[in-house]
Every structure is written in C-alpha cells, then in structure tokens.
Amino acid sequence: MRQVVLDLEESLIRQVANAGMGRSDVLKFWFGESDEVTPAFIREAAARSLNEGETFYAHNLGLPELREAIAAYCSALRCEGAAPVGADRIAVTSGGVNALMLAVQAVVDAGDEVVVVTPVWPNLTAQPAIMGAQVRCVSLRPVDGQWRLDMDELLSAVTSRTKLLIVNSPNNPTGWTLSCAEQEVLLAHCRKTGTWILADEVYERLYYEKSPNGCAPSFLDIALLDDRLMVAHSFSKSFLMTGWRLGWLVLPKAATTHLGKLIEFNTSCAPVFIQRAGVVALQRTEEVTPQVVAHLKRCRDTLVPLLQALPGVEVSPAPGGMYAFFRLAGQGDSFEIAKRLVLEAGLGLAPGNAFSSDPSPAMQGWLRWCFASQDPARLGEGVSRLRGWLATA
C-alpha cells in the first residue's frame, strides 16, 4: 500500500464519535448533519424509481434531466450579469466529498503544490495529500470575535508554482464566508498565476446575512466561462439528504467530458433512483430549503447566546454554515477535551484540531458544535451539560 495512505490520520471526529457509539445518553453534535429526516416527497421519488425497476447504470455525468435541473437551480441563484450555468457544465457525483475528490484528481499530480485555507473539514487537506501533492495551509484568524482571512498572506502563498487553491466558503467549521470583493481579488490573482480554484460551496444556501439572491457569495457570480474554476455542491445540507450521497460539480465546459471519464473509474455513476430523488428535490426546493435555513438560524441564535454566557467561552454567531466554533480558555488539547466531554458529560462535539493539519497549537481549545437540531431544546440541554462539566473540570 502507498505510504501516503498508510500515513493518513484517522479522523479525530470519528475517533470521538466512536467513543460514544452505542451510548443512548450521549447528545450527539459531532457530525455535520441535521437529525431531521429527509422530506417524504423526496423519499417517495426514490421509492417510486425503485418500484419502476430503475436499477441500472446511468450516464457517467448524470441523468440529463438532473443536470438540467441543477443548471437551472444554479442559474437562478446567480447575480445579474453572471456567466450562464448550462447543463454542459454539470457533472453529477456520488456526494459532495466525491465531487471534491474528483476535482482534485482532475488537476493535481504528485509533487504539485496545493494551497488550502484552514481551519477546514479535514478531507480538503487529505485529498490532495493522497494524490501526492505538497499541501500548504493559510489559516484564518479570529479578530474581534470574527474569523478573518489575511488576503496578503494568501496571495503571497499562491504563486505560479501553485496548481490548486482550495477554499471552503461558507466555511466548516468557522462559518467564515468570503465576500464578493475577496472572491474577485482571488480570481484575478489565480488568473495571473495559472492556478485552478476549487470552491467548496456546499453551505451556500445556509447563509444568514442579507444578500440579493438569498445565498452566500459564489465564485460563479463573477467567473468567466473559461476560468480555471470548479465549484462543488451537495444535496446533503440544504435538502436534508446527507445519507443519500448526491452532489455535483460546476466546471468549464471543455473539462466536463474528461471529468466524466474520472467518474467512470471511481463510481461509474450515481444510482438512478437517488438521482430521481434529486430531481424532485430541486423541483420543490422552496418547500425545503427556506424552512431549513430559517430553522438553522433559530438554532444558531438559541445556542450561541447560551455558550456566550458560560465563563471562559469565546464564540460569535457565524454568518453561514451549521456550526458554532468556540474556544474553551485554558482547557488544553481539543481532542482530549472532546473525548472527556463524551465520557464524563455525555456531550458529543468535534475537536478543533481535526480541522487543521498545521502542527501549531492554533486550534487547541477549540470545539465545533453542529447546531442542526430538530428540537432546539437539545441544544440547551447540551449547554447545561457543558456548564456542569466546566464547573468540575
């Protein structure tokens, strides 16, 4: 087996979750998913497809009707003057993580330099490492209670040697979100250096600030058709479909066919019955996503003030995403804190150092709390358990 695979670290989030698996008394906020089931009409579309015998292979790039629906959905979210998103720019994938891995496979060779903005979901640093890339991290920093990007530092890191820049916005775990002005600066710089941009925008709709199109700023609002840009999306968060494993990539038209070849050698295609569910989800978006976003905002606005009231807790409401990323002052290693919270308080959170491959102690003491709870009262109970644990820790 390749050494880089042997050297991969097991997910710290999974290790914490494993410590609490099988315990009914643990409040689980460690994974990035709601505890609310997928809407019935989406499930029924998949069941209907199965009952009609749609159990065969599909086109590598996805069902034409799903690609058309995705293109229409993406186009409807774009700002005035944005380049069109046609179906010929869409590749359907088996989940957002599959979209991200395919994008990395498409452009990264062994030895290439890849720059990633961190802290970030660990897959985004692991995927280029698996391809043998040299991964450099540029870290966000908390400033006056909000996470900020040092643009000069990032621009200095991205040079003509940089094959790929990976940016997740809205960000997991911090909720930090690139502004349109920052995206314009990055895109202009990467045009000069010849660097591809992989934008993980799966939390695009989970955005709580006022915006003209009801979502976070997207590179697709400003990019030209031939820009070296790939944008990854997923049905998981906005449609309550985490377990379905359905996502997509938006990419330059000239690259779409080649991406289809990679899909053939990875998964062949997404299952047809799951794609049928995706079509219906997009057709009835307004029955799902606005309610999801409104509920998540209520959850955020329930949890954050409760955390802020605890002594030694540093946290601010995130503009996007589904997480409260907070710091416990003077508590040491985040992974050890998370394990103790499971074992001693029955509280399942994700350790902050899972989101940075940087060996510095920047993420120590930080924890991620997924606030996507169908019953907001669970959030209050979780804070009560944290308060009790802090009193005795």
DSSP string, 109-131: PTT-EEEEEES--THHHHHHHHT
Residue 57 C-alpha from the chain's centroid: 28
Q: What is the DSSP string of 216-260?
A: ---GGGT--TTSSEEEEEESTTTTT-GGG--EEEE--HHHHHHHH
Distances from the Cα of 147 to the Cα of 157, 317, 326, angstroms: 19, 11, 11
Closest CA to 303 of 324, 318, 320: 324
Print pLDDT tens along the chain (393 aa).
Answer: 999 999 998 889 999 999 888 888 999 999 999 999 999 999 999 999 999 999 999 999 999 999 999 999 999 999 989 998 999 999 999 999 999 999 999 999 999 999 999 999 999 999 999 999 999 999 999 988 789 999 999 999 999 999 999 999 999 999 999 999 999 999 999 999 999 999 999 999 999 999 988 999 999 999 999 999 999 999 999 999 999 999 999 999 999 999 999 999 999 999 999 999 999 999 999 999 999 999 999 999 999 999 999 999 999 999 999 999 999 987 788 999 999 999 999 999 999 999 986 644 567 889 999 999 999 999 999 999 999 999 997
Backbone φ, ψ for residue 337 (5° rounding): -60, -50
Backbone φ, ψ for residue 146 (5° rounding): -125, 150
DSSP 3-state of 276: helix
Kindly report the CA angle at 71 between 169 and 56, in degrees rounded to 5?
105
**Residues 208, 210, 213, 219, CA torsion sign:** negative
Q: Are 102 and 149 in contact (CB under 8 A)?
A: no
**Residues 236, 240, 243, 247, CA torsion sign:** negative
pTM of the predicted protein model: 0.96
8-state DSSP, 345: I
The secondary structure element, H or E, covering residue 299 is: helix 289-308
Using CA atoms, how far apart are residues 216 and 324, in angstroms rounded to an integer?
A: 18
Using CA atoms, how far apart are residues 240 and 35, in angstroms rounded to an integer?
A: 9
